[in-house]
Structure 1
């Protein structure tokens, strides 16, 4: 199916219906947040860092709710935000096509509406999974049809306090310092940290290996022996891409003795999980996430078959890595199955929440409370390092201070990315529940902004003087009543 718009008139009709729906719902709501300045500079109500799916959903929900002094910044060029057409190397999305994703409860804003407006109901019925490039096209349309305030090619390089405000340093297409009352970190799968790199790779020259989220020149791997660490979805996607671009051989080095087969969390997906996970006691939250981590999520069947159909692909199970070193222009990998030799290695080892290594967070990182700071107790289960590093968040995804009073602006910085999962459940990283997550986020921001400006809002109440009645709607009968009583 062509990724190009085949039916512009159908899309225009959809956009008209969406505009009508928004009008019926009185959306966007009227602007209600008082304007502020700081040392002569305008102050944003909210800045969103990241304009991928979560960033767009958060920005849209803010604007629709009448918080209009908002901007979203993304370091990527327009149309390249998020992983979809960069380091996501699968052919299709893994989520069912029917999920409404970032549509925020608006039927005309769903992928299904966008798709059928152009290709029709029959094409929708025949569609299996959504091609990832087409999902990116939908997100581009989503941004355009809602006229969201996104600025590309802008990178945040620093966060610091400016009185009660947050000062952000920017570079790129917009350079300098901006001030905001609230900050949303919609920074995607990398959360607050970055790539998770195993210790055995940290001293190996980068010309011999890449992380699965790196830009990889797969054409340079033609004729090469390639190893891929892991058995997850990204492992399969990267292995398949290497095979399809001519790698001589690809081995998947899988530490487990058996491939995981059952997608546990998808199997129990429900509105109860979406809205109830955050309300659970900490011990139950830990239990859910710990169990899914121990059982692991299997790669999709189609992604696995995409690898196994190649005769030069091998699945090496029970193959843990002991050490890696470069020698004579090749990698020598010592494994539990013996010594293996490769020309290049791809580490599909995920991401970390260790934000101490990110320079843009340097001013706030030491003060952020994580689950290791007393929220976790040994009675909950195994002390998993990645889970312990998860930030301990409030009800609107806001950070909490490790020591009260040491960094008050943390209460105004919201972690709307994958790092929020342990506290909030999977509502800020994946397609299924992103609308629910955006709604939870913006309800919290709305309430806190209103409370912060309560004096101003009360003054507006007192000053409001537009009469509902003009004085000519009735006759005062009191004089007649008094006359009648006198008789």
Structure 2
């Protein structure tokens, strides 16, 4: 019989107490214009935001809050546009446990369902992973405020940012010294919809991250554009909800077979990637992104088991039109008609999609602003646009300016989401190394706050007066002889 979550919760609290987590706050409080100033604000309460908050608590930075636009329990993709049956990652990965074994998914699962259930488990069901993240949030007492959207960021004063927020239609301003954007795959942009589809209305063409009424696709023809994990998951959902047929249009002549980064996954990559020379960082990621990540085998079989599912490889969409409710797609292999199109075409970095960063956008430095790979370091001789538009981040994930004299508050904004990959490696969005990334972020923020407050800490050093010795512990004696 499984011990149950009550027993696990008691054990977690005991073990966290043994290592003094959360640590005592050490950052001097600050007020500005009569208003309290947060040390850190995190935007995004998905897996990355929770890990970042937990790491700050471990580091004794307790004056922080996490905001998320979604309702409670719907943060991140897991129960919204994530439509896979199970996670791709192996169940044994530590994930957002902050390096604390009792906070792992395995501990949570075994206490809830038992050791035999764990041994029988294959991959982690998606909804169950969300349940685990909700538990992490609860047991660590992560300070989350839901249904709160960040509208804009401005500089209030030297070292202080003003965050303009809205919740339930009510605006407010929160002051903070550091802002962490834990905003996921589309953290610096949004869903990418190919221009060729731009003329189609949202009633017949949506991105795979959009809310989709799959029940409404019953009996209809559906086209899914793309061949990655999201394409397979959305195609399967349409088929399982009764679509008459689903055609998958894949631009590549074949589906990728090998997940290259899996083959070199190690603590060496986790801790060493950020220290690579720029040309080697580019070389690793240019090759990996050009090879692409294959869709999971189980997700692909989930589609292929349907007789009304059809794969069309080497099939690029060249034009699209809508006539009498029917979508006509002209492809490199001919024309196809359909009732509904799902574009599983990924995300792009595009600051025009992030109005909250408008005050700083023109000064954010991207890799293309300072680095151009040599010809022999370019896959197929081309510049990889995804890498070129990656933000050039400092060791603490903070943005760096094109013009150091402009937007001085830019360095207080930290990009702890997928676009950080070229600067830091895969530690800010994926399950395997998310705790390592959160630890690096928290250490960087802690260092910056201590340096900024050095005069106060020095004064505290001078003012400290609690005696260790009382003066009566010894007696002075004359020298012998």
Post-superposition CA distance 1:43-76 (Å, at most 9, x none): 0000000000000000011012110100000000
How far 1:175 sits from its partner (Å)?
A: 3.1
* Equivalence for 1:213: 209
* Equivalence for 2:425: 425
For residue 155 of structure 1, the aligned residue among 142, 149, 152 is 149
Post-superposition CA distance 1:327-382 (Å, at most 9, x none): 12111101000111011100001111111332111111111000110123344422
Counterpart Cα distance in 1 of 2:318 and 2:475:
94
For residue 165 of structure 2, the aligned residue among 160, 166, 170 is 170
Q: How does 1:109-120 map to 2 (within 5 A)?
A: 109-120=103-114
Q: How does 1:268-287 map to 2 (within 5 A)?
A: 268-287=264-283
Post-superposition CA distance 1:413-440 (Å, at most 9, x none): 1000001011111100110000000011
How far 1:26 sits from its partner (Å)?
A: 1.7
Counterpart Cα distance in 1 of 2:199 and 2:152:
28
Q: So what's the TM-score if we normalise by structure 1?
A: 0.96
How far 1:228 sits from its partner (Å)?
A: 0.3
* Equivalence for 1:253: 249
* Equivalence for 1:70: 64
For residue 313 of structure 2, the aligned residue among 307, 317, 320 is 317
Counterpart Cα distance in 2 of 1:387 and 1:368:
15
Assess if the C-alpha contact under 8 Å between 1:101 and 1:433 holds in 2: yes
1:341 equivalent in alignment to 2:337: yes
Counterpart Cα distance in 2 of 1:189 and 1:432:
16
Assess if the C-alpha contact under 8 Å between 2:363 and 2:402 holds in 1: yes
**Any idea what SS the aligned residue of 1:400 has?**
coil
The alignment yields a C-alpha RMSD, in angstroms, of 1.2
Assess if the C-alpha contact under 8 Å between 2:224 and 2:248 holds in 1: yes
Structure 2 spans left out of the alignment, 5+ residues: none
Q: How does 1:27-426 map to 2 (within 5 A)?
A: 27-164=21-158, 165-173=160-168, 175-379=171-375, 380-381=377-378, 382-426=382-426
Assess if the C-alpha contact under 8 Å between 1:375 and 1:392 holds in 2: no
Assess if the C-alpha contact under 8 Å between 2:282 and 2:373 holds in 1: no
Post-superposition CA distance 1:140-191 (Å, at most 9, x none): 0000001110110100000111112111000015631010000000001112
Query: Kindly tell me: are residues 403 and 377 of structure 1, through their superposed partners in 2, closer, same or farther at Cα, counting changes over 3 Å?
Result: farther
How far 1:10 sits from its partner (Å)?
A: 2.2
Q: So what's the TM-score if we normalise by structure 2?
A: 0.97
* Equivalence for 1:434: 434
* Equivalence for 1:3: none
Counterpart Cα distance in 1 of 2:252 and 2:8:
48
**Any idea what SS the aligned residue of 1:450 has?**
helix
Assess if the C-alpha contact under 8 Å between 2:153 and 2:162 holds in 1: yes
Counterpart Cα distance in 1 of 2:103 and 2:34:
39
Post-superposition CA distance 1:103-132 (Å, at most 9, x none): 011010000000000111111000000000
**Any idea what SS the aligned residue of 1:148 has?**
coil
Aligned length: 475
Post-superposition CA distance 1:188-239 (Å, at most 9, x none): 1112100011011122211111100000001111111100011100000000
Structure 1 outlier segments of 4+, above 4 Å:
none
Structure 1 spans left out of the alignment, 5+ residues: 1-5
